[in-house]
Amino acid sequence: MADHLVTIDNVDMRYGGAGGVLAVSGLTLNVEKGEFAAVVGPSGCGKSTLMRLVTGLHIPQTGVVKVAGAQVTKPISIVGMAFQNPTMLPWRTTLDNILLPLEIVERHRKRLRRHKAEYVEQAERLLETVGLKGFGDKFPWQLSGGMQQRANLCRALIHEPELLMLDEPFGALDAFTREELWQVIRDLHAAQQVTIVLVTHDLREAAFLADRVFVMSARPGKVLHEHRIAFPRPRDLELMYQPAFTEKVHELRGEIADARQAA
């Protein structure tokens, strides 16, 4: 049996009490350890709800969510998260922004004071990995949007999470910067062997980065289709000009168009 890091089994999640909005219904999917999974679907299909369920920010009314074999009943610390808006604290340097989760995650908080130099070195290594060597002492307002998002990825990875959740992290960036960051996250995944779940509207992004793509229905969201993406790794941006890639993106787009019409 596959080694599942994330299991969502027949989950219903309703906002606002018994008469509220049913965001997802009968949602079932699993993500294997070390896998890169992408979730796509029409607007309002429950993609962000899925993120909150996996991280324990929401607890479902019915069904079970498990991460690393344990049922999720509260927010969990083995997850790193990056969102579309990097939300870096403007009064802290880039390095201090990256170290912020270590002040929150209990097992690191205890060590941080005594071993700060070790953690700073780790943050500097991450900065180098994402192409920001030497920028640790800059403030967020001194960085471009793409640079802030690179720092945001470092912050999500600094506490060595087993699972990295990415919610539209590149959506606000221009096309060239976005493609640069696809390569950064591709290389981070290969180097760190972290399990990644990416929620995105960009079908090219999903097909380029993921091992599997889950297509969700319109609200209430559930998984309609699952695609195993067979393009060999490491993938180069040239892949996106190949007919097989274009065909896969068109297939995904067609499924989402059908899901919107079925709503």
**78 close to 161: Cβ distance less than 8 angstroms:** yes
Using one digit for the tens of pLDDT, what is the confidence trace for 171-224? 878 889 889 989 999 998 998 889 999 999 999 999 999 999 999 999 999 999
Strand order in the sheet with 21-32: 21-32, 4-15, 62-67, 70-71
Neighbours of 249 (CB within 10 A): 18
Amino acid 263: pLDDT: 63
pLDDT at residue 185, rounded to an integer: 92
**What's the whole-model pTM score?**
0.91
Average pLDDT value for the chain: 91
Q: At 2, is the pLDDT very low, low, confident or very high (cuts 50, 70, 90)?
A: low
What average pLDDT does range 256-263 have in this prediction? 85
d(CA 85, CA 196): 18
Fold of 1-44+52-75+210-254: Rossmann fold (3.40.50)
Give the tens place of pLDDT for each residue, 11-48. Answer: 999 998 778 889 999 999 999 999 999 999 998 888 88
pLDDT in the model for residue 56 = 92
| Residue pLDDT, tens place only, 91-111 | 999 999 999 888 877 777 777
Residue 223: φ, ψ to 5°? -80, 120
Convert 101-114 to b/e letters by CB count within 10 Å (16 or more is b).
Answer: bbeebeebeeeeee
The reported pLDDT for the residue numbered 16 is 85
Instruction: Write out the E strands in 111-169.
Output: 163-167
CA distance 176 to 11: 38
In this prediction, residue 101 carries a pLDDT of 85
Tell me the backbone φ, ψ of residue 115, rounded to 5 degrees: -120, 35
How does pLDDT run across 108-151, given as a tens digit for each residue?
Answer: 777 777 788 888 999 999 999 888 999 999 999 999 989 998 99
Sort 32 into a burial class: Cβ within 10 Å, 0-12 / 13-18 / 19+.
Answer: middle
d(CA 30, CA 46): 16
| Residue ranges per structural domain of the chain | 1-44+52-75+210-254
Q: What is the pLDDT of residue 1?
A: 40
